[in-house]
Amino acid sequence: MTIRVLLADDQALLRATFRILIDSCEDMEVVGEATDGAQAIDLARTHRPDLVLMDIRMPGTDGLAATSAICADPELSATRVLILTTLEIDEDVAEALRAGASGFLGKDVTADGFLDALRTVASGESLLCPLATRALITRFLATPAEGSRLATPEDLTALTAREREVMGRVAEGHSNEEIAQKLLLSPLTVRAHVHTAMTKLGARDRAQLVVIAYQSGLVRAVPPPSVGR
C-alpha cells in the first residue's frame, strides 16, 4: 500500500526537498503541495491523503487552523497530520496536538528519520519524543484549551485495569514493544489494548490518548529536565 502525502509549507525549497525524499521511496508518493493552511485544507479534501506534513507558521491561514479543520472533518478521519516545527516546546505545537495532530517533527531531522516518521504516523501511531512530550504536558497539555473539556478520572471507568496500565505506559512515552516487555505481553496484545482504550475514550489516536492520561490524573506531570532548543 502506498502512503499518500500532502506537503503544506510556504518554503518552496523545503517542499522540493521533501518531495524528492518521498518520491524516492516505493511505498510513498506526494499527492499535492500547499503553500498555506487554506490550500492545505482544500487539497486534503480533494486528495484524501493518508498524511499531511504541516508547517505551523505559514502566511494567511496558518498550519494550526488548518490542522484543526482537517482533524475536525469527519470525511478526513483517516488522514493524519504530522507537524513540522523548529521548536519542540511551543504553545502552537501543543495546540496542534490538542486539535488532533498525531505528532511533531523537527526541521533538523535526518533524511532517514524523516521517512521513518512519515511511515510511523501513517501507520496510525503517534510521533512523540518522550522528553519533549513530558515538557509539553507539564507546560501546556495537562490543561485544556479554552472552551474545551478537561478529561476527568471518571472518564477512565470504562477501561479495564490492564487497559489503564497500558495507557499509563503509553503516556510515559514507551513503545508497544517496550510495554510488551515490561508487562510480559505480546506486542499485538498491547496494540489491541491501546486501540480499545482509544475507542472507549474517543481518542483520535495515540497522541490524544497521552493527553487524556495526563488530564485525567492517570499519569502525573512532573517538571522536565531542561530541554535545549
pLDDT tens digit sequence for 135-177: 666 565 555 555 555 678 888 999 999 999 999 998 887 888 8
The cell 500547499 sits on which residue? 34
- Shared domain check, 158 and 120: no
Q: Structurally, how many domains does the chain consist of?
A: 2
Does some domain include residue 75? yes
Domain carrying residue 77: 3-127
Helix or strand (DSSP H, E) at 95:
helix 91-99
Cα dihedral 49, 84, 150, 164 sign: positive
C-alpha cell read off for 159: 477501561
- Shared domain check, 70 and 33: yes
What values do phi and psi take at 106, rounded to 5?
A: -75, 150
Give the residue-averaged pLDDT of 6-29: 94
- Shared domain check, 157 and 118: no
- Shared domain check, 155 and 64: no
pLDDT at 215 over 50: yes
Does some domain include residue 143? no
User: Could you tell me which residue, 28 or 148, shows the higher pLDDT?
Assistant: 28
Domain of residue 115, CATH code: 3.40.50.2300
- Shared domain check, 175 and 88: no
- Across all residues in the chain, what is the average pLDDT? 84
- Shared domain check, 41 and 88: yes
Report in angstroms the alpha-carbon separations of 186 from 126, 159, 168.
20, 19, 17
- Shared domain check, 86 and 164: no
Residues ≥6 apart with Cβ < 8 Å to 202: none
Does some domain include residue 142? no
Answer yes or no: are the C-beta atoms of 51 and 3 closer than 8 Å: yes
- Shared domain check, 24 and 95: yes
Q: Which of 92, 127, 162 is the last residue of a domain?
A: 127
Does some domain include residue 227? no
